[in-house]
Amino acid sequence: MDISTAQVGRQQELTNRFNEVRQLTLEICEPLQPEDFVVQPVVDVSPPKWHLAHTTWFFEIFILKKYVSDYRLFDDDYPFLFNSYYENEGDRWIRSERGVLSRPWVKEIMAYRSYVDDSMLQFLKTTELNEEQLNVFEIGLNHEQQHQELMVYDIKHILGINPLFPTYKRSNLPDYQPNLKTNWLRVDEGVYEVGYEGKDFHFDNEEGKHKVYLPGFQVQDRLVTNGEFLEFVEDSGYGNFNHWLMEGHEWVKKENIRAPFYWIKEEGEWFYFTLGGKEKLNLDEPVTHISFYEADAFAKWKGMRLPTEFEWEVACKLHSPEIPAEANFMDSRNFRTMPRVGANPQFYGDAWEWTNSAYLPYPHYQKVDGALGEYNGKFMINQMVLRGGSFATMANHIRPTYRNFFHPHLRWHFTGFRLAEFT
Ligand code: AVJ
Ligand code: FE
C-alpha cells in the first residue's frame, strides 16, 4: 500500500524518532558489563536486560501483533517474560523474580530488539498509519523514554549497593558559578487552569484542562540543596517526630533511615554515591534520593510545606513557560544533578519534585478500553505526584503538565523538592 504524500513526511519523522529512541536505550547500556544486565537488588529495580526486552515487547504487542496481519512473534514465550503488568495481555513472570532469569541472555534480547526494529521500520515504510496507530506509536516511543529513565535509576541502584562503588560514567562537574540565592515566586490568589490542552503527544493522566482555585502563595525558584538538607540531618531532623507524618516516622524507624539514599558518613565526613562513583558530598547540588516523607519533614522543620501539583504547574507556566538552555536533562549526558547556575528559575530537569498532591484522576478522566487503559489509570491510589523531570529525562519528553507518580516511601529514583508557603 502506498503512503499519501501528505503523510510521507510525518512517517519519515516518526522513523527518525524511532531510530533515535531505540539507539539511546543501547547507549545507556554501553558502560555495562554482562553481569550488570541481570541483577535485581530490590523489587522496584528491574534488570537492564528486562528493560531492553520489555520496551521491545511493547512495540511487538501493541503495534506489530495488532496491526501487521502476517507478523510472527520473535519468540512465543517472550510475552510471558516481558509483560510488566497488563492483565489484559495475560499471565506473566512475577515482578520480584525478574533478576533470577539468566536466560534469555543479552545477545538473544539484542536479536529480539533487531527483529522488532526491522519489522517496525518495514511497517512504517509500507503502511499509512491511521490516527489510532499513530497514537500508539507515540505511546511506544514515550514508553521507551520512561524506561530509559528507569534504567538509569536501576543501574545506579545496582552499582550503588556494591561495596566497590563502581563508576558508571565519569562526569566531572565543570567549573561553575552556583546561584544559590532563593527568589520567591509569587502567585496571586485566583482561579487558574491546569491540565494538558493541545494537539501534541501527552499521557491520558494529564488530559482534561480544568479550573482550580489557589489561595495566594509563593514557591522557591530552585530546588532544595544538599547543603540545606544536611542542616536538617545535623539538626537531628530524622529523630524529631514532630516534623514527621506518622507513616513517615514509622518508615524512618523501621528502615533505620538517617540520611538520603546513597549518602555515606565516614569519619565525620559526608560522601555520596553518584554515577561517577563515590564522591565528597557537593553541598551546592539539589538534594536527591529522598522520599516524599523526608521532603515533607524537611518542609515542616522549616515551618513551610511542599507545593501541590497545581501550585507547581501554575507557578511553572507563569514564571518559566520555556525550558531554559541550562536545564539539566539526559540530553546533556551529565548523569548527575548540577548546581543551579544563572538567574532563571529551575523548574525542569535535575530531579523530579515531590508535590503534596495525591495521584488522582482529573475531572472526566476516562481510561481507554483494553490493555492500554492499564497504562496509567489503575495506579491512581496511594501514590504522590512528581513534576518537572530529572537529569535522566529527555527534554522532548517533559511538559509543565506532565504528571509522574511514585509511592511516598520510594527514593531510588531522582527525587527532589522545593518549598512553598501561603502569602
Ligand atoms: C510513570 C514512571 C511511574 O515506572 O511504571 C513504564 C512508567 N509505565 N511502563 C512506571 C511506565 C509503563 C511508570 N512511571
Ligand atoms: Fe513499561
Q: What's the gap in Å between 146 CA and the centre of ligand 1?
A: 6
Q: Check if 226 has its Cβ closer than 6 Å to any atom of ligand 1.
A: no
Report pLDDT for 172.
Answer: 74
Q: How far is CA 260 from the centre of its chain?
A: 18
Measuring from atom 8 of ligand 1, which residue has the nearest CA? 375
Asked if 23 and 133 sit in the same domain, the reply is yes
Gap from CA of 167 to ligand 1 centroid (Å): 26
Q: At what angle do helices 48-59 and 5-29 cross, to 10 degrees?
A: 170
Question: Residue 314 domain-assigned?
Answer: yes
395 and 267 assigned to the same domain? yes
Is the CB–ligand 1 distance for residue 142 below 6 Å? no
Residue that is last in its domain, among 102, 126, 160:
160
The series of mean pLDDT values per 10 residues for the chain, 423 residues long, is 88 97 98 98 98 99 98 98 98 98 98 98 97 98 99 98 96 85 98 97 98 98 98 98 98 98 98 97 98 99 98 98 96 96 97 98 96 98 98 98 98 98 98
Residue bearing the CA closest to ligand 1, atom 4: 150
Domain boundary among 126, 160, 194: 160
Whether 149 and 219 share a structural domain: no
CA–CA separation, 392 vs 103, rounded Å? 28
Residues 84 and 23 in one domain: yes
How many angstroms separate the alpha carbon of residue 70 from the centre of ligand 2? 25
Q: Is residue 388 part of a domain?
A: yes
Handedness of CA 370, 147, 157, 285 (dihedral sign): negative
Q: Is residue 299 part of a domain?
A: yes
Q: What is the tens place of the pLDDT at every residue in 164-217?
A: 999 999 877 778 899 999 999 999 999 999 999 999 999 999 999 999 999 999
274 and 395 belong to one structural domain: yes
Cell representation of residue 284: 551546592
Q: How far apart are CA 280 and CA 267, in angstroms?
A: 12
Residues 148, 208, single domain; the answer is no
In a domain, 13, yes or no: yes
Q: Is residue 165 part of a domain?
A: no
Same domain, 133 and 197: no
Give a yes or no: residue 98 inside a domain: yes
Could you say which ligand is closest to the alpha carbon of residue 149? 1
Is 63 inside a domain boundary? yes
Q: Classify residue 202: in a domain, yes or no.
A: yes
Q: What is the CATH number of the domain that holds 327?
A: 3.90.1580.10
The ligand 1 atom at the shortest distance from the C-alpha of residue 405 is 3
Is there an atom of ligand 1 within 6 Å of 405 CB?
Answer: yes
205 in contact with ligand 1, CB cutoff 6 A:
no
68 CA from centroid of ligand 1 (Å): 26
- pTM greater than 0.80: yes
pLDDT digits (tens, 9 = 90+) for 62-105: 999 999 999 999 999 999 999 999 999 999 999 999 999 999 99
User: Which residues of 237-351 form beta strands (DSSP E)?
Assistant: 263-266, 269-274, 277-280
DSSP 108-167: HHHHHHHHHHHHHHHHHHH----HHHHHHHHHHHHHHHHHHHHHHHHHHHHHHTSTT---
In this structure, are 219 and 120 located in the same domain? no
CATH number, domain with residue 9:
1.20.120
- Shared domain check, 122 and 200: no
DSSP label at residue 409: T
Nearest CA to ligand 1 atom 3: 405
Give buried/exposed letters for 84-96 (b at 16+ CB in 10 A, else e).
bebeebeeeeeee
Residues 230 and 369 in one domain: yes
Alpha helices in 243-360, H assignment, sequence order:
246-255, 292-301, 309-319
Q: Are residues 221 and 353 in the same domain?
A: yes
Q: How far is the CA of 140 from the centre of ligand 2 (A)?
A: 9
**Contact (CB, 8 A) for 352 and 386:** yes
At 1 the pLDDT is 61
Q: Ligand 1 centre and the CA of 147: distance in Å?
A: 7
Query: Given 125, 160, 195, which residue is the final one in a domain?
Result: 160
Q: Residue with the nearest Cα to atom 10 of ligand 1?
A: 146
205: containing domain: 184-422
Number of domains present in the structure of the chain: 2
Would the CB of 383 count as within 6 Å of ligand 1?
no
Residues with CB under 5 A from ligand 2 (ion): 84
Cα–ligand 1 centroid distance for 234 (angstroms): 35
- Statement to judge: residues 145 and 36 lie in one domain: yes
